[in-house]
Amino acid sequence: MTLTSPGPTVGVVGGGQLGRMLGEAAAPLGLELLVADPTPDCPAAPVVRDQLVGGFEDEETFRDLAERSDYLTFEIELADPDVLERVAEETGTPVHPAPETLRTIQDKLVQKRRLADAGVPVPEFRAVDSAADLREACEDLGYPAMLKARTGGYDGRGNVPVEGPDAVEDAVDDIAGPAMVEEMVDFERELAVMGCRGDGERDAFPVTETIHEAEILRESVAPARASDDVRERARDVAHDVLDAMDGRGVFGIELFETTDGEILLNEIAPRPHNSGHWTIEGCHTSQFEQHLRAVAGLPLGTTDQRFPTVSTNILGDVAERQPAALSGEEGILETPRAHLHWYGKREVYDLRKMGHVTLTGDDPDALLADARDLRDGLTFE
């Protein structure tokens, strides 16, 4: 291999916080980053070579991006896999992970079928195209069950719990499109593994415990406060998931540890993931560096952990969309081993991901309590 200046350019579809953190990780490796995003001056813009302004299905933008890049990747599932595939073919710029993988993952039903076929343990599920389908499925799976839109869901949007037979019609109306239903999993805790496929190698970061509220990630604790055996099995499942995917890159793999001690796959994301932000300080290689290494065909870095680490999201807590102004951040800046990550989003709205805070130390319980205290000291004005 040869390092040059300028080095290879990685074109990223999407320039939100994930693009911004990819930008922070690129320069040491000698990589240059371009992002394409419809929002002018997106979060990644100040730390990358250039932003192309265009939508996630805009073929012209994708083509410009591909022509200026040596590798293409994406940091948002809304990227159109058909357009990516066409542009890659026309320009010869490879896309990682493979557009086919993105297509599979975008449709939750196709995703689950593919993984179940590959032997990955998943909750029981059924396709749902009508209220009759849902009623029949729930007779098998039991109530409550979770109805999910097959496409477009995000941070719990597109998920509707079905409490009983009377709720079936409304749930199907709510989703208003192709759906799937899953048994409601009785879980001890939720886990996540950031896996990575490189050029002929694969690896996984230490298992993370993820704490959600209203289906939005609040905190990540690494290593997960689960038994060694559970953590080992979670990693095994992650490896099986990676083997079922195509192309290179980081995958966020969300899992359930059931009350029976089983590991079940919940969902995967073909990109760096919120539950892996802690790796920036907590591991020797961050998930962002790892994704770039994979996409650019460089050797993967070690996934070893530096310290027990907790991160907590900074979410919007305002009633109305308004310019972002956060007070209380000096509490984070004054705390040794607390790390602020501000995403630079111009506006805040309720529950919008505006940044995160990472704390490293020794004891996960104490770190979690401290991280919550720091976060609770923040207010949007």
CB of 344 to its own copies, least distance (A): 5
User: What's the Cα-to-Cα distance from 133 to each of 19, 109, 143, 179, 230, rounded to whole Å?
Assistant: 40, 14, 14, 10, 35
Tell me how far, at minimum, the Cβ of 12 lies from its own copies, in Å: 14
Q: In terms of CB distance, is 19 or 99 closer to its own copies?
A: 19
Nearer to its own copies, 45 or 180 (CB): 45
Q: Which is nearer to its own copies, 10 or 105 (CB)?
A: 10
Q: Closest distance between its own copies and the C-beta of residue 335, in Å? A: 9
Question: Is 190 a known ligand-binding residue?
Answer: yes
Read off the tokens for 345: 């989003």
- For residue 334, the SS3 value is coil
Cα–Cα distance measured from residue 117 to residue 167, given in angstroms and rounded to the nearest whole number: 31
Q: Given the complex with its own copies, which of 1 and 176 has the nearer CB atom?
A: 1
Residue 27 or 118: which CB sits closer to its own copies?
27
Nearer to its own copies, 49 or 218 (CB): 49
Sign of the torsion angle spanned by Cα atoms 41, 43, 44, 49: positive
As measured in angstroms, the least distance from the Cβ of 14 to its own copies is: 16
Q: How is residue 370 written in tokens?
A: 């401290």
CB atoms within 10 A of CB 207: 25
Query: How long is the chain?
Result: 381
183 marked as binding residue: yes
Cα 286 off chain centre by: 14
On whether 339 is known to bind a ligand per the annotation, the reply is no
Smallest gap from residue 19 Cβ to its own copies (A): 11
Q: Which is nearer to its own copies, 193 or 332 (CB)?
A: 332
Bond into 165 cis (ω within 30): no
Neighbours of 270 (CB within 10 A): 30
3-state secondary structure of 81: helix
Residue 212, annotated as binding a ligand: yes
Q: How does DSSP assign 234-252, residue by residue?
A: HHHHHHHHHHT--SSEEEE
CB of 25 to its own copies, least distance (A): 8
- Please indicate if the annotation marks 266 as binding a ligand: yes
Residue closer to its own copies (CB basis): 6 or 92: 6
Asked if residue 273 belongs to a known ligand binding site, the reply is no
Least distance (Å) from its own copies to the CB of residue 169?
43
In the complex, the residues that contact its own copies under the rule CB under 8 A are: 1-7, 20, 23-24, 26-30, 32-33, 45-49, 281, 284, 293, 298-299, 301-302, 304, 306, 323-327, 329-330, 333-334, 336-337, 339-342, 344-347, 355, 360, 381
Place of tokens 């059924």: 126
356 known ligand binder: no
Helix (H) or strand (E) holding 359: strand 353-360
Rounded to a whole number of angstroms, the minimum distance from the CB of residue 13 to its own copies is: 19
Q: Which two tokens stand for residue 112?
A: 């689950």
Is the link from the previous residue into 308 a cis peptide, with omega within 30 of 0? no
- Token look-up 């350019």 returns 9
Residue whose pair of structure tokens reads 């070690």 in the numeric block: 302
Could you give the CA distance from residue 250 to residue 246 in angstroms, rounded to a whole number? 11
Q: Is 108 annotated as a binding residue?
A: yes
Summarize the annotated binding site as residue ranges. 108, 148, 182-185, 190, 212, 266-267
Which positions make up the binding site for ATP? 108, 148, 182-185, 190, 212, 266-267
